[in-house]
């Protein structure tokens, strides 16, 4: 049997529980390029296209033109429709905090945190399609198959935890986002850097296949412990005659960590020890708001335990609405769909910021919230109650982890149709996040297909220094 290279071993091991272990084990101790302001990232992703003109981008001129044709000459074509009349935000906007940032009444709880948040009002995407748009915001490319930001971060920095994966995704309980697991894949990076998904509704087995089925009678927890003890003895004997074999050491350590995950994963997913006040803060018992609140609470628990990159999805795959759309894609009835998802995001995200800050974790945790694109400032659909896709303008926000709170960066035009000043794509957003983590986006590279590939590609303008405290 021919020797297995370290790289080949990593790829082979990544398909199982051993890959989860190796993600943190092999990269632990990696050094940043410069002093970091943040130690970890929690990213909230809102698939479907959140409307900036109904949330964070206040447009008085849109109010003045309410009900008037957006395109009197009929020359403009939106993604899936011709423009209707100008439609101002469906919720009133008010100024909040010492900074006086404008936030709509759709998000009253998040509005209380504006002094800790920085808003990028000039985001743009290169596509108005959901799948490619999600790929771009997650990987920097509209095509599938490229490494996600979480994969790049763990490739560069590894994990702070010996007992948990370094990159964890908490999908919406309603389903996966547009594009599915490709959004958190490792692409051409070693496969161990792809995310591990946690089932937030299954505290007993939050990681798939971590335990045998309950109806499997061939083992028990006590028997498992005896078997693991015996295997440790055999491994020690095997290793004693093969000193310096790092691949063997890696394989043994991987399976030892898999055993530890049987304890650590259920522990982090079990929120019964959280106080009643914390449970109410996240509204975990609410049938509609609670699932996302639980995701945010688990994100805080993962951050406390050393997980480097945590991604939370607020919304699932795009399908036709039944009672509501399963994500933010509000073509038919924005008040119905954004009204639902706004309450979900508002409660969970505001609770997360408040909880991190009260525990002294916000300063070292970079929180990012974004969507794949925005929505148009003109009405769409029967009765003019929806909004079409808008790749030309949307808002993202960041908080904690070295971010200058209370700041607004970039602007859209007077109607919110297109970003016009300090335009930002995923490249600059990712470069800024990497910088705050101590990584130089131009030096974080991986050789593939004859090129030194990087998350930020070659098209961006680098770090947004104005956002950094």
List the CATH number of the domain containing 36.
3.40.720
Q: Is residue 360 part of a domain?
A: yes
Cα distance between residue 278 and residue 41, in whole Å: 21
Cα distance between residue 395 and residue 407, in whole Å: 13
Task: Give the residue numbers spanning the domain of 160.
Answer: 7-467
Q: Is residue 264 part of a domain?
A: yes
Q: Is residue 26 part of a domain?
A: yes
| Contact present, 113 and 350 (Cβ < 8 Å) | yes
Q: Is residue 74 part of a domain?
A: yes
Q: Is residue 1 part of a domain?
A: no
Considering only CA atoms, which of 20, 12, 145, 78 is closest in space to residue 379?
78
Q: Tell me the pTM.
A: 0.88
pLDDT on residue 321 = 60
The burial of 88, by beta-carbon neighbours within 10 Å (0-12 exposed, 13-18 middle, 19 or more buried), is given as buried
Pairs from 264-269 (Cβ < 8 Å, separation ≥ 24): 264/163, 264/164, 264/305, 265/164, 265/198, 265/206, 265/207, 265/210, 266/203, 266/204, 266/205, 266/206, 268/164, 268/206, 268/298, 268/301, 268/302, 268/305, 269/198, 269/200, 269/202, 269/203, 269/206, 269/298
pLDDT on residue 28 = 53
**Per-residue pLDDT of the chain in tens (469 residues, 90 and over written 9):** 345 444 444 444 444 444 444 544 444 557 899 999 999 999 999 999 999 999 999 999 999 999 999 999 999 999 999 999 999 999 999 999 999 999 999 999 999 999 999 999 999 999 999 999 999 999 999 999 999 999 999 999 988 888 898 999 999 999 999 999 999 999 999 887 889 899 887 777 777 766 767 666 666 667 767 776 787 788 888 878 887 665 566 456 556 666 677 778 888 989 999 999 999 999 999 999 999 999 999 999 999 999 999 999 999 987 766 789 999 999 999 999 999 999 999 999 999 999 999 999 999 999 999 999 999 999 998 789 999 999 999 999 999 999 999 999 999 999 999 999 999 999 999 999 999 999 999 999 999 999 999 999 988 899 999 999 9
**Number of domains into which the chain is organized:** 1
Cα distance between residue 407 and residue 426, in whole Å: 19
pLDDT on residue 354 = 98
């Amino acid at each position: 049997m021919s020797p297995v290279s370290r790289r080949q071993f990593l790829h082979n091991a990544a398909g199982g529980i051993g890959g989860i272990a190796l993600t943190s084990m092999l990269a632990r101790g990696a050094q940043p390029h410069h002093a970091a302001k943040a130690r970890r990232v929690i990213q909230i992703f809102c698939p479907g296209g959140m409307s900036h003109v109904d949330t964070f981008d206040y447009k008085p001129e849109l109010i003045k033109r309410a009900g008037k044709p957006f395109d009197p000459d009929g020359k403009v074509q939106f993604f899936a429709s011709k423009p209707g009349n100008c439609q101002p935000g469906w919720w009133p906007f008010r100024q909040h905090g010492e900074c006086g940032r404008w936030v709509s009444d759709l998000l009253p709880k998040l509005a209380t945190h504006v002094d800790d948040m920085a808003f990028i009002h000039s985001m743009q995407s290169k596509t108005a399609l959901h799948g490619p748009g999600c790929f771009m915001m997650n990987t920097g490319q509209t095509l599938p198959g490229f490494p996600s930001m979480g994969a790049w971060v763990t490739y560069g920095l590894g994990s702070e935890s010996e007992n948990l994966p370094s990159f964890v995704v908490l999908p919406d309980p309603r389903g996966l986002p547009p594009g599915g697991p490709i959004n958190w894949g490792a692409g051409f990076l070693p496969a161990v850097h792809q995310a591990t998904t946690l089932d937030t509704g299954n505290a007993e087995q939050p990681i798939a296949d971590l335990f045998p089925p309950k109806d499997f009678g061939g083992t028990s927890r006590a028997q498992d412990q005896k078997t693991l003890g015996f295997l440790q003895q055999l491994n020690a004997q095997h290793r004693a005659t093969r000193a310096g074999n790092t691949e063997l050491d890696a394989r043994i350590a991987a399976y030892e960590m898999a055993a530890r995950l049987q304890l650590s994963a259920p522990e982090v997913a079990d929120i019964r020890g959280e106080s009643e006040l914390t449970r109410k803060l996240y509204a975990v018992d609410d049938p509609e708001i609670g699932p996302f609140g639980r995701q945010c609470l688990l994100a805080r628990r993962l951050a406390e335990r050393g997980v480097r990159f945590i991604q939370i999805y607020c919304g699932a795959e795009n399908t036709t609405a039944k009672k509501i759309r399963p994500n933010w894609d509000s073509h038919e009835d924005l008040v119905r769909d954004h009204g639902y998802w706004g309450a979900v995001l508002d409660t969970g995200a505001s609770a997360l910021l408040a909880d991190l800050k009260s525990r002294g974790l916000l300063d070292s945790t970079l929180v990012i919230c974004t969507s794949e694109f925005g929505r148009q400032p003109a009405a769409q659909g029967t009765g003019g109650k929806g909004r079409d896709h808008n790749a030309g303008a949307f808002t993202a926000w960041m908080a904690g982890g070295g971010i200058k709170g209370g700041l607004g960066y970039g602007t859209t035009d007077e109607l919110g149709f297109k970003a016009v000043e300090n335009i930002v794509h995923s490249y600059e957003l990712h470069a800024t996040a990497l910088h705050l983590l101590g990584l130089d986006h131009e030096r974080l590279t991986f050789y593939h297909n004859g090129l030194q590939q990087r998350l930020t590609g070659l098209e961006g303008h680098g770090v947004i220094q104005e956002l950094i405290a």
